[in-house]
Structure 1
Amino acid sequence: MRLGIDEEEWLIQVKDEALSLGEEMGDPVTPCIFCVPKTLVNENEAAYIPEIVSLGPFHCGKPELRGMEKYKAEAARRVSCRIQSSFPDKNFTDVVNSIMSMEHRIRACYDKEIHCSGEVLCWMMARDASFLLEFFRNYNRPFQQEDREKDAAGSEYSHPVFCADGDNSTVLAIIKDIMKLENQIPLFVLEQVLAVEMDSIKLAREQMEVILKLLFDNIYRPFNFFIFSTSPRRSHVLEMYHYSCFGKNSPMESSQDSWNPWPKALDDHRLKIPSAVKLTNAGVMFKANAGVLEEIKFDKETCVLSLPLIILNVESEVFIRNLIALELCSPQYKIKKFTQYAQFMDDLIHNKKGVSVMRDKGVIVGNLRRYTQLARLWNSSNLSPALSQCVAIAETRKNIHEYYSKKWRIHYKTLWNEFWKAYVSKPWLVMGGVGAIIVLILTVLQVVCLFYPCTPT
């Protein structure tokens, strides 16, 4: 039986990889950039696949994304001019050469094999990193005729990609593509480009922090407790964004005390809870808080379900779906908090009525107009429960289940709430009902008097 490979070529490649891996510095790199599973992509392909710009190898060369290649070339030219203004004997080739020393480290960041030569990969990374840096530097920077930004090249930005105020459709489309899991590139590549510009890796890392903070200060943030943080360092933009959503309570940083891998926690997580509409009819009140996900709780005494306020808009679906995809794909996330939060919201929101309840109670705010689109955001059929559970969410599920399982009380409250909504809350219906009853009684009396004359004794 023959192997389905070119044995000589395969042997050369394996030997080269083994030798080069031994020469590289630093700790071993585990995959951090993943292809999203088809089960998720099939639900909403546009949320995971880049639509305007490709970053990294997964979508490089696609015909529909080639429109941005000229802007990548422009970004590379500007980086080269910036380098030459400080170091006349250097140019963009020095950026590529510095990235070549990281080739195997870059390949190790991706969960799929990258079928291109090392030179092609490094030029691709250098151009993509330059594009990102130029875009980040100018994101949300006011574009005014009398105060255009000039760099070392002395030319002005004249395209919305590099000079917009963050409000035009091109910039918003790029931002959404930057936050897609399959469209990530390692942050150490961006730092390496800056290091060649500044001739210092320390200064490059400091500048990278400033650039990312500016970005995160101005892009969509789902929660009020979103806090930008670069410590500890993260692998790519989406991972840093995820960490900023949770801060010190990040699933990657959580201690053993905050999660339980054993079946009891799993059983609590699988407890199905009623929808927001049913809970409202059963007397449950919803309350929005500005706290973290660990503050999700249900008070059985006051019948109050406390949930973190979440802000939703046209960018929400891309951001939220890719945060979930990151948790599901990466083994680093012991507790898949955002996934479990999405499952919790999926139980509460089944349709636009559920969305209406949550918006009326102030749990959901934002300008996403279509209620069905909001409901679809949570209604994913592929969010299988993780083994390790967030204790707060599991405990809340258990408390709601215990409360709702008391059938007689729920049945009574549901009937009362339905009666109240149908009649008591609408006085004209009550008056109409009373009038109809009076007319019916008088009609019956009239019929009786026809057969049995009502004469005085």
Structure 2
Amino acid sequence: MATRSLSSTITNSYSFSNMNINEKEWVESMRKSVVEYEEESEENPVCIFSVPQVLLATDPESYIPQQVALGPFHHWRPEVYDMQRYKLAAARRTQKFMNVSFERIVEIMKKNDEARIRACYHKSIDMSGDALIWMMAVDMAFLLEFLQVYSIKEEGRTLKKVKSMMSHVVDVTGKKLSHMVILRDVVMVENQIPMFLIHTMLKHQIKNTNDEDKSADETLKSMLMGLYIELAPFQEKVLPDVDINDCDHLLDFLYHMTVPNNKELGITEIISNIPLLKLMKEPMERMLEKFQGGGEEKSEEEGGELKAPTIEEITIPSVTDMAQAGILISPVYGGISDISFDNITSTLYLPVVDLDVNTEVYLRNLVAYEACVAAGPLVVARYTELMNGIVDTEEDAKFLRERGVILNHLKSDKEVADLWNGMSKSVKLTKVPKMDKVIEDVNKRYAQTWKVKFANFMNTYVFGSWKFLTVLVAIVMLLLTALQSFCSVYSCARMFHQLPDFQGGTTD
């Protein structure tokens, strides 16, 4: 009876009635997915992802939009739906500016772009075509109006005021709290809109030009460059030249600006870019793993089990420890690729990084996006691991600030230390050849100091060897036992009491 009851419970737990699912709707959904399925084009790969749960759990506010949702992932959340009135106001202004009904814009998008839009998102979008296109069109109108602020900044002009409907949420100085929150929202992984849609609408907005395509490209590039200058933490003298037509969305553009192409190409990327060798990619990778000693480690898929990312810090001394060992720290105006170590002068060169309230969200979402799309080295993740390793305490943060490596616009040095120490707790360690060589050189130089050598000796041969300690304790105990036996026969107390007279005293 008990067995039958348990079986019934298990069966019922998987029934449609318990899951509140309409069977007919479910069957119709399956039928459409299989029968009416259109084969995905290789020209439109998935480019907009959900943040992995293991990352999302560490700091949800850095990945979940707080004020404005763009695209389908967060559109219906009550917390962000209040911004809909501002989106609709932007859509009305777009309609007036383009001198065409917004409904006509939606019709054209639905006819030409619906399938391509759906292909961009890695999740199946459970919305009708009309709902999806209306949502995307309205969101694009809002995003383009928001980005205009940065286009004007980048071109060196000044916008005297923002449209009245948007004036209390967006301002040209970017100092209003609502503006900063929106700024963080638009760079989040799950809040992206395909670049081809933004470009198409912008092209239709631009009038009175002989070359509409070029003008749209220039205008969009101006907006995105202004946004990058506003958000990017690095102080670069020469900005990379990124083709917006090669970028899938806004965050993809920011990633390529932060990690310029071909800086850190690995063997797998080189193989993938050569058609004839592409077929041999997998066997060649296996061969390389054996030569590099990586053959014993299995991937998450091969192991059949999803492992949580490690929280182990990168092996490198903190900056204060480096300073005590005679290693110099020097700022350099550039990006991640400019990190280097001079063995002759024992100087570690680090890019100047400007930290403000937007930096953590910016870097976290770059790391998350990189983990979703990068086939090669995870460069941004490795940089955050490096900074996590060299900044342990607020004293380390203060040290870097005083030397000009960190420009701190946060409240304190402790906040800086907390930012870096929290960055790579949820990201798996990765190898980036150039950066790893810098780390190796720093560790070699650090290990040459006598303090470090002595500490290593103690850790290896004393504290790290329980056998040595056991023998040492046994010898000490043996000596004490022998001394006790000796003293019980020869009265050590009397001998030690007479010792001062023996050494220098005289007797009468």
TM-score range, shorter chain: 0.7 to 0.9
| Residue among 352, 366, 376 paired with 2:418 | 376
Residues 181, 238 of structure 1: 8 Å contact kept: yes
Question: C-alpha displacement at 1:256, in angstroms?
Answer: 3.9
Deviation at 1:351, TM superposition (A): 1.9
In structure 1, C-alpha distance between the alignment counterparts of 2:262 and 2:168, rounded to whole Å: 37
Alignment of 1:237-276 (within 5 A): 237-249=250-262, 256=270, 262=289, 264=292, 272-276=315-319
1:106 and 2:124 aligned: no
Residue 356 (structure 1) aligned with residue 371 (structure 2): no
Is the Cα contact below 8 Å between 1:98 and 1:192 reproduced in 2?
no
Contact kept, 8 Å, 1:99 with 1:192, in 2: the verdict is no
Once residues 265 and 373 of structure 1 are traced to their aligned partners in structure 2, the CA distance between those partners, rounded to angstroms, is 39
Deviations 1:243-271 (A, max 9, x none): 112334566899749xx97575989x997
The answer for the alignment partner of 1:11 in structure 2 is: 31
Paired letter, 1:216: Y
**What residue number does 2:173 align with?**
165
Task: Please show how residues 24-423 of structure 1 align to structure 2 within 5 Å.
Answer: 28-84=43-99, 90-100=100-110, 101-139=112-150, 142=158, 144=160, 159-161=167-169, 164-198=172-206, 203-217=215-229, 219-225=230-236, 226-227=239-240, 229-230=242-243, 233-249=246-262, 256=270, 262=289, 264=292, 272-330=315-373, 332-379=374-421, 380-386=424-430, 389-406=431-448, 408=450, 410=452
- Structure 1 residue 283: Cα displacement: 1.7
Matched residues in 1 for 2:55 and 2:384: separation?
14
Aligned-partner SS, 2:348: strand
Residue 362 of structure 1 deviates from its aligned partner by 1.6
Out of 360-369 and 156-165, give the one that drifted further: 156-165
Read off the aligned partner of 1:308 and give its amino acid letter: P
Give the aligned length.
390
| Residue aligning to 2:499 | none
Q: Please give the per-residue CA displacement for 1:271-299, whole angstroms capped at 9, x wherever unaligned.
A: 71122222222221111112343332223
Separation (CA, whole Å) in 1 of partners of 2:53 and 2:29: 32
Report if the CA contact (8 A) 1:157-1:163 is conserved. Answer: no
Letter in 1 for 2:351: P
Aligned amino acid, residue 384 of structure 1: K
CA separation in 1, counterparts of 2:107 and 2:316?
A: 56
Cα gap change, 1:202 to 1:67, in 2 (>3 Å): same
Structure 2 counterpart SS, 1:120: helix
Check whether the contact 1:95–1:196 (CA below 8 A) recurs between aligned residues: no
Question: Based on CA coordinates, which of the two structures has the bigger radius of gyration?
Answer: 2
RMSD: 3.3
Quote how far apart the aligned CAs of 1:60 are. 0.7
TM-score by length of 2: 0.69
Rounded to whole Å, the distance in 2 between the matches of 1:54 and 1:271 is 35
Counterpart code for 1:67: D
Amino acid at match of 2:219: Q
Amino acid at match of 2:106: V
Letter in 1 for 2:224: L
Question: How far apart are 1:229 and its partner, in Å?
Answer: 2.7
CA distance 1:165–1:408, change in 2 (3 Å): closer
Secondary structure of the 1:335 match is: coil
Structure 2 unaligned blocks of 5 or more = 1-10, 17-22, 272-284, 298-311, 457-508
Give 1:8 shift: 4.0
Change (3 A) 1:270 1:67: closer
After superposition, what is the alpha-carbon deviation per residue over 1:283-332, rounded to whole angstroms, capped at 9, x for unaligned? Answer: 211111123433322233322111111111111111111111111121x3
| Secondary structure in 2 matching 1:384 | coil
Question: 1:72 offset after TM fit, Å?
Answer: 0.4
**Shift, 1:413, TM fit:** 11
Deviation (angstroms), 1:228: 5.5
Task: Supply the distance in 1 between the matched residues of 2:385 and 2:354 (Cα, whole angstroms).
Answer: 17
Quote the residue 1:443 is aligned against: none
Give how far 1:334 is off: 1.5
Counterpart code for 1:317 = E
Q: Distance in 1 between matches of 2:264 and 2:108?
A: 34
Residues 412, 108 of structure 1: alpha-carbon distance in 2 compared, 3 angstrom cutoff: same
**What's the CA shift for 1:201?**
5.2
Match of 2:303 in 1: none
Choose 367-376 or 404-413, whichever is displaced more: 404-413
Structure 2: distance between partners of 1:253 and 1:120:
43
Identity rate, percent? 28
Instruction: Using the TM superposition, name which of 46-55 and 163-172 deviates more.
Output: 163-172
Deviation at 1:188?
1.0
* CA distance in structure 2 between the partners assigned to 1:157 and 1:7 by the alignment: 45
